[in-house]
A and B are shown apart, each in its own frame.
Chain A
Amino acid sequence: MKFGVVVFPGSNCDADCYHAVKNVLGVECDYLWHEDTDVAGYDAIILPGGFSYGDYLRTGAIARFSPIMAAVADFARAGGLVLGICNGFQILLEAGLLPGAMRRNVGLSFRCEFIHVRVENADTPFTGAYRPGQVLRLPIAHGEGNYYADPETLAALEAGGQVVLRYSEPDGRISEAANPNGSLHNIAALINKEGNVLGMMPHPERASEAILGSEDGRGIFTSMLRYLERRRGR
């Protein structure tokens, strides 16, 4: 099994994702440079957090034009697993691999803190290790995580079970107060219709080891691994 972590010039969670996959999960992992045009041989690709090309414009707006994104899009079309975390989620939206857009956080300031999310769909390649309704304690760190989509798109996302994580209270209740950024429907993570591209604002790689205060994020990576192993076994 082999994971690839894309390195845009302004990525800053690339090394953290690499560490989580390689050292915590114990799975082979490579960095993929943003100017590469080939992702053959990889089972899963992670678009990490950061400020891909500075993000002085909209977050991720330039990254979608980078050479590697065409290869990532092909990889996704062919059924490969793509996980976008934070800036990676923003890039997936800009690239049209997921629907909707990000606005600046309500309150207009960057927020870095532990929050809670409820698992809304545990039947995906990214969440299979969790129970439906399980509450996870994960960190966020972003200035633009305020998810927006038009009402029809939102309705379709909800109907299709594409909302995978929702900001919640520690006991799982969904409330306005638990929403750190103003996202519609408290959306923290989304999956595409085909079920192989996930975007999430919280950082699972920051919550994969007990010493960092939470291991709740590791399930994202172990879910991917289990899914890939099962798929390969078939």
Chain B
Amino acid sequence: MGLTDEEYARILELLGREPNETELGMFAVMWSEHCGYKNSRPLLKLFPTQGPRVLQGPGENAGVVDIGDGQAVVFKMESHNHPSAIEPYQGAATGVGGIVRDIFAMGARPIACLDSLRFGDLKERRTVYLFSGVVAGIAGYGNAIGVPTVGGEAFFSPSYQGNPLVNVMCVGLLEGAPAKGAAAGVGNPVLLVGAKTGRDGIHGATFASEELGEASEERRPAVQVGDPFREKLLIEACLEALKTGYVVGIQDLGAAGITSSAVEMAGRAGTGMEIDISRVPRREPGMSPYEVMLSESQERMLLVVEKGREEEVKRIFSRWGLDATTIGRVTQDGVMRVWDGKTLAAEVPVRYLTEEVPTYVREGRVPEYLAAAQAFDWHTLPEPADYNEALLKLLASPNIASHEWIWRQYDHMVQTNTVILPGSDAAVLRVKGTSKGLALTCDGNGRYTYLDPYTGGMIAVAEAARNLAACGAEPLGLTDCLNFGNPEKPEVYWQLKQAIEGMAEACRSLGIPVVSGNVSLYNETEGRPIFPTPVVGMVGLLPNIERRAQQGFRGPGDVIVLLGSTEDELGGSEYLYALHGLELGRPPRLDLKKEARVQEACRTAIREGLLSSAHDLSDGGLVVALAESCLTGPNGPQGARVEIARAGLRRDSAYFSETQSRILISLPEENLPRLAAIAGRLGVPYSVLGRTGGERLEVDDAISLPVNELQRVWKEGLACYL
């Protein structure tokens, strides 16, 4: 069941007796990493979680941040890595379902999803199977529930071969105060609503907390099956029920099913709960108490309702064709008591399952690979003989190529709020009835984190914030998904700790609170851990949505400017991978003070209406960003002519270095003095590179390619594998 001998001994000590099978199952799931965060909890305390706008930080179903006018955004990201590794469609689909429930459990209407995906090499047939299955699963579920999937990222590296990462973020819009996930009010009835309970997904939480191996295929029954239609009904019914004011507490049933929801709700309120599982509506006869308590059947919620108001609440669910059954009541003795009719099936003090979760502070050790990997010197590699060819190779890399194949399968426009569609640095949604906009992004670079966990953690935060700055938004807060290997290995624990410390420093320096998150450990196959991959989801605010920017050049005649400056930093770059097959070197450095100034300069210029476009520099560096801006313009492809090469920097580094704190912008020439004033005031270096126009991208005398050829290669780069 995933418990160690020591943990079992601790259970005996707490209970003063042997647990029965149901009780043991409850301990196993509540004490799993997935539910109990036993390895990560002490580390997560390093994150700053406070801020003037934060209404709810970590600990509830999702984080809540004030956006003025009595409105708030609610958001969280969650992983569904293990299920997706063996059953891609359902694994990903139920990942969407779970995170969406976390959002409307706060009383917010889900308004967008984003997905952050990591897969192995697309030349492998299994990768293609997993990847296309995951995308179809996200599409199948998200499209049906009417929540647009507006953004995300996809990255391919052999490191994720057997253990893909599927992280989904959901964002909701809340009018008024957030709902609570607490079982308050002794004597209040507890209602189970939504789908019936079946045998699917039993021990999904413990499965998620172990390494993948040859036996994982047998875990297929631990993967749940989603029913998006029922989820859609559940969204509407729960939001309607919450409006009545009779719902005291609400929580979704996710990992560990009724057990975790009931225990967490009672834990938050400091109460107890008594439930009778013989009342739980079931899909099949003969289920044992153990199975009912641990089932992870999807599309279910637990509600605590004001006593005497059950009927009003139940009527709403009945109108939406959903079950709503009173299965218990809130008690004051702090004990979780499970009845099966007249038989007592389990009796465990709530705090044994929550506060008594063992936590481990482990010793980390610097991994052996690190010194050699960091010492790699790319200057020993020859310069490309032909820079046209080098650029085309980079644009064809699935990590850089157009990801339209993915997002074209997602309904990214439903709810008619999507103002900047997928394919730019961040998606921008309008908030109907206001002048506000919300910018949404997710980001993370496992390769950097592998090569330097601290810097990789910092960059994940900084780059997400830069994505938002590039569309004119101010970061409100972030959610994260920490995807790592087995923390019981000192090297993995060291990576985790370093990455969290790096993220925390960036959060503090940039003033961005962490309001929710999720940890996914044990991402290993056959004993080999994945690249340590912290993924950051970030939400930003645009006070006036009319003042926004997107990444594509708008038309001919604009001046092209680089904010920030380029250093000799090809370590861990996409250039080294796409051209030389190497994932080595020291990743780019990050100066957080400079980063903040560059972002502020870009944001200010956008808000003053100076810019035609703005594009964050990331994978592939400056010349790739130039090509992307040429290809993604709102008025169709656009050529450009620039001068980049400079003394003291080898040409490949000048073109493809992934130096941080850089944003590529374009603007009408008459706005240049005002831009210069902003950059001067903030101390941000900038350089005028050239102009938009024509039908070719021309860089110095080294690159000259027709834009339509760039487009063909870039559009086919990912799609050609599928």
Using a CB–CB cutoff of 8 Å, the interface residues on chain A facing chain B are 9-10, 12-13, 15-16, 19-20, 23, 49-51, 53-56, 109-113, 139, 141, 143, 203, 205-206, 209, 211-213
Minimum C-beta distance from A225 to chain B (A): 19
Check B139 against A110 for contact (C-beta < 8 Å).
Answer: yes
B415 at the interface (CB under 8 A from A): yes
Q: How far is the CB of A52 from chain B (nearest CB, A)?
A: 9
The reply to whether B229 and A141 contact each other, CB–CB distance below 8 Å, is: no
Q: How far is the CA of A213 from the CA of B430 in the complex (A)?
A: 13
* Between-chain CB contacts (< 8 Å), 20 pairs: A10-B229, A13-B414, A16-B414, A19-B416, A20-B416, A23-B432, A50-B146, A51-B228, A54-B144, A54-B230, A55-B229, A109-B136, A110-B139, A110-B140, A110-B409, A112-B407, A112-B408, A113-B408, A141-B413, A212-B418
Task: Name the contact of A112 in the complex, choosing from B140, B233, B412, B430 (C-beta under 8 A).
Answer: B412
Q: Whole-angstrom distance between the alpha carbons of A19 and B421 in the complex?
A: 20
CB–CB B146/A139 < 8 A: no
Q: Are B409 and A109 in contact (CB under 8 A)?
A: yes
- Give the residue of A10, A53, A112, A211 whose beta carbon is less than 8 angstroms from that of B409: A112
Cα of A56 to Cα of B229 in the assembled complex, Å: 9
B414 touches A19 (CB 8 A): no
Complex alpha-carbon distance, A109 and B409, angstroms:
7
- Nearest-neighbour CB distance to chain B for A74, whole angstroms, equals 24
Q: Answer yes or no: B320 CB below 8 A from chain A CBs.
A: yes
Q: Which residue of B lies closest to A52 (CB)?
A: B229
Show the binding face of B for A, using Cβ within 8 Å: 136, 139-140, 143-146, 227-230, 232-233, 236, 320-321, 407-416, 418-419, 421, 430, 432, 545
Query: In the complex, are the beta carbons of B227 and A54 less than 8 A apart?
Result: yes
Q: In the complex, A55→B409 CA distance in Å?
A: 17
Which B residues are in CB contact (< 8 Å) with A10?
Answer: 144, 229, 232-233
Bound CA span A23–B418, Å: 17
- Complex contact A13–B320 (CB within 8 A): no
Contact status B419-A212, CB under 8 Å: yes
Contacts of B236 in A (CB 8 A): 9
A189 to B635, alpha carbons, bound, how many Å? 27
B423: min CB distance to chain A, Å: 11
Task: Report B-chain residues with C-beta under 8 Å of the C-beta of A9.
Answer: 229, 232-233, 236, 320-321
A211: contacting residue among B136, B411, B430, CB under 8 A: B430
Question: Distance (Å) between the CB of B146 and the closest chain A CB?
Answer: 3
> Smallest distance from the beta carbon of B473 to chain A beta carbons, Å?
16
A143: chain B residues within 8 A (beta carbon): 143
Complex Cα gap A28–B447 (Å): 55
Residues of A contacting B416 in the complex (Cβ-Cβ under 8 angstroms): 16, 19-20, 205-206, 209, 212
Residue among A23, A109, A205 with most chain B CB within 10 A = A109
Query: B321, B407, B408 — which one has the most chain A CB atoms within 10 A of its CB?
Result: B408
Known contacts A9-B320, A10-B229, A110-B143, A16 near B411 by CB under 8 Å: no
| Distance in angstroms between the alpha carbons of A110 and B409 in the assembled complex | 5
Residues of A within 8 A of B411 (CB): 110, 112, 141
Least CB separation from A139: chain B residue: B413
4 extra A-B contacts, CB within 8 A, seeds A53-B229, A206-B413: A54-B230, A110-B139, A112-B412, A141-B414
Please report the C-alpha to C-alpha distance between residue A54 and residue B229 in the assembled complex, in whole angstroms.
Answer: 5
Using known A-B contacts A13-B146, A112-B408, determine if residue A51 contacts B229 with beta carbons closer than 8 Å. Answer: yes
